Amino acid sequence: MSQPRKSGKRNPMGHRLKRMRDQSMRAAIPGADDAAPPSLPANVVVDCGWGRLAFAQTFESAEALVDVLRSEESTKRDIAFYIRDPHVVLAAAPQELFLDPSHTYRLDLATYRSGRTPSRGYFVRRLCSEADAKAVNRIYRARGMVPVDPEFFWRQRDSRTLTVLVVEHDDTGEILGAITGVDHSRAFKDPAHGSSLWCLAVDPRASQPGIGEALVRRLAELFQARGAAFLDLSVLHDNESAIALYEKLGFKRIPVFTLKRKNTINEKLFIGPPPEEQLNPYARIIVDEARRRGIGVEVLDAEGGFFRLSWGGRAVTCRESLSELTTAVAMSRCDDKAVTRRLMEAASVPVPRQLSARADEAERMAFLEECGSVVVKPARGEQGRGVVVGIETAADMDAALKHAASISPDVLIEECVQGDDLRVVVINDEVVAAALRKPPEILGDGERTVRELIERLSRRRAAATQGESRIPLDDETARCVRAGGFGMDDVLPRGTRLRVRRTANLHTGGTLHDVTAELGPAIAASALKAARAIDIPVAGMDFIVTDPAGDYHVFIEANERPGLANHEPQPTAERFVDLLFPLSAGRPE
């Protein structure tokens, strides 16, 4: 019986996988008997601003690579990439280095094909100004990444080794995301003609879909046009959303590794999660600042956000930004919105007209007719629960009153003042931060329904805020959608913007935009008067304004437990810890 002839056809997939494997195996730290390839410069290091990128395949020995990592600057994070045998390098400095728990992925640019990238209200371009650099740093800080000196970005503006791309909003010019690419051929005449992707970051406030994908695709197309063979990246093993994006675009895992030096920036990666890891972002930002100063931390109830700080014989129990320094009287004044409003009137802080829902129907209808548009809200409650804004009909008012009564037995009807929602954080009689709070909006793509777009935006908001911000698919959302002329199951036309909530609370999908530097003196003075009237050391004062830099403002409510993490990079956590432990202020790390 004759043997079947072997097919002469080539297996393209097998060939590509073999080539990727061979390329990755060449990208290794040489062993004791190896020498660096003669075509490569020795010991190549590229400064990326946030730290240095050491290309391990160019180093002559593990000791030489360790020496580079040892010279890492404080506040920076150096990365040794393309290490095939990390155990060899770790053995040279086991107390100083650690194996980064990241996967390496590669995109084969020979087979990559550009995807359809419809206009979504933004475009990708190169970073080209100091304002761009500052905006990128704002996004880095919001994402917990190491910021870069804006001057570094400016010095690298004509570099062919480093390429920084940003996403700009079509209408506002706001920077929504950034990505950095490294051209290996330019860096060290890489015979494999490689490139790599670093620091993909999207503004957590951005509502537009596909920003990360647009940045990755543009960078891939740029290096593909230069003749690069592949685009590599390193991503933390548990970053599921990023990994899903990369795999969707065709990236494949390769067996190379990353080493870093143990420092305070990446401490959580090599010592395991600390007890406060289970705290929410509002508690953790305070705990992190306390630890930085050497203040003791004891987590009492992670789920509830309770912890105790102790230093110099003094201990203070907190729940996020609410501490023992806030009295029960001050807290009760904040808790009852009717009481708060009366205190503001006495302190000459502007307030809207208000009516108790206990008034008879004739009074309620007269109030609605007089105001034109009203807000219904529980007298007690937080995080925007039960608040309905922009009511113009008796039927909507009745429905809103019923819903608010399920939150609190006391319900208020308030004049709906037109303008933007402004949160001012006051700590220890000082205005520390101010931010405009904007309701969530969706952008139509001509394919998905309003419901699908809301669900997608809600998932992005939840991912960006560690689950703190979601858009509820409730009657209030449906009412806002109807007010915009659509139904929940309608397909939103491409380019159409639709506001899906009237309230701007972070917990219901709102976003914050820092305006601390622009805050007008009249508004700042009212925020301080409000805090003094309530006699509270830490509070978030909410106003309706037409311009945060102007004079016009109307007080809405006070929050005794403001989310300090929402106002980075303003020093909210620093001022809070200063309040609790004044003598710890300015302590070195």
> Taking a C-beta distance cutoff of 8 angstroms, is the pair 407, 395 a contact?
no
Lowest mean per-residue pLDDT among 6-20, 116-130, 426-440, 511-525: 6-20
The residue type of 309 is: L
Which residues on neighbouring strands pair with residue 319, listed in sequence order? 306, 322
> Band of the pLDDT at 212, cuts 50, 70, 90?
very high
Mean pLDDT of the chain: 86
Say if residue 292's pLDDT is above 90. Answer: no
Say if residue 46's pLDDT is above 90. Answer: yes
> Taking a C-beta distance cutoff of 8 angstroms, is the pair 72, 52 a contact?
yes
How big, in percent rounded to 5, are the helix, strand and coil portions of the chain? 35, 25, 40
Pairwise CA distance, residues 213 & 415, whole Å: 43
Cα-based torsion angle of the residue sequence 390, 396, 398, 404 in order, rounded to the nearest 10 degrees: -50
Say if residue 20's pLDDT is above 60. Answer: no
Q: Average of pLDDT values for 60-65?
A: 91
Element holding 253 (H helix, E strand): strand 252-254
- So what's the pLDDT on residue 362? 87
- So what's the pLDDT on residue 1? 43
> Taking a C-beta distance cutoff of 8 angstroms, is the pair 226, 183 a contact?
yes
> Band of the pLDDT at 4, cuts 50, 70, 90?
very low
User: What is the DSSP code (8-state) at residue 2?
Assistant: P
pLDDT digits (tens, 9 = 90+) for 531-563: 999 999 999 999 999 999 999 999 999 999 998
* CA distances (Å), origin 110, targets 22, 162, 194, 500: 16, 21, 11, 43
Strand order in the sheet with 420-427: 511-514, 431-438, 420-427, 538-545, 553-559
Cis peptide before 569 (omega within 30 of 0): yes
pLDDT digits (tens, 9 = 90+) for 100-120: 999 999 999 999 988 765 557
What residues have CB less than 8 Å from 220, skipping those under 6 apart?
107, 109, 112, 231, 249
- So what's the pLDDT on residue 480? 87
Q: Average of pLDDT values for 169-186?
A: 92
Token pair belonging to 144: 């917990």
Say what percent of the chain tops pLDDT 70: 91
Token pair belonging to 581: 């432990």
> Band of the pLDDT at 423, cuts 50, 70, 90?
very high
Say if residue 235's pLDDT is above 60. Answer: yes
Q: Average of pLDDT values for 27-32?
A: 41
> Taking a C-beta distance cutoff of 8 angstroms, is the pair 120, 294 a contact?
no
Angle (nearest 5°) at CA 68 between 67 and 70: 65
Q: What is the CA radius of gyration of the chain?
A: 28
pLDDT digits (tens, 9 = 90+) for 254-285: 999 999 999 877 777 877 777 777 888 889 89
Pairwise CA distance, residues 78 & 73, whole Å: 8
Say what percent of the chain tops pLDDT 90: 47
Pairwise CA distance, residues 452 & 88, whole Å: 50
What residues have CB less than 8 Å from 254, skipping those under 6 apart?
20, 21, 23, 24, 104, 105, 106, 232
Say if residue 291's pLDDT is above 70. Answer: yes
Report the predicted TM-score, pTM, of the whole model to 2 decimal places: 0.69
Token pair belonging to 400: 């809103």
Q: Average of pLDDT values for 493-498?
A: 86
Say if residue 367's pLDDT is above 50. Answer: yes
pLDDT digits (tens, 9 = 90+) for 295-343: 999 999 988 889 999 998 899 999 999 999 999 999 999 988 889 989 9
- So what's the pLDDT on residue 7? 46
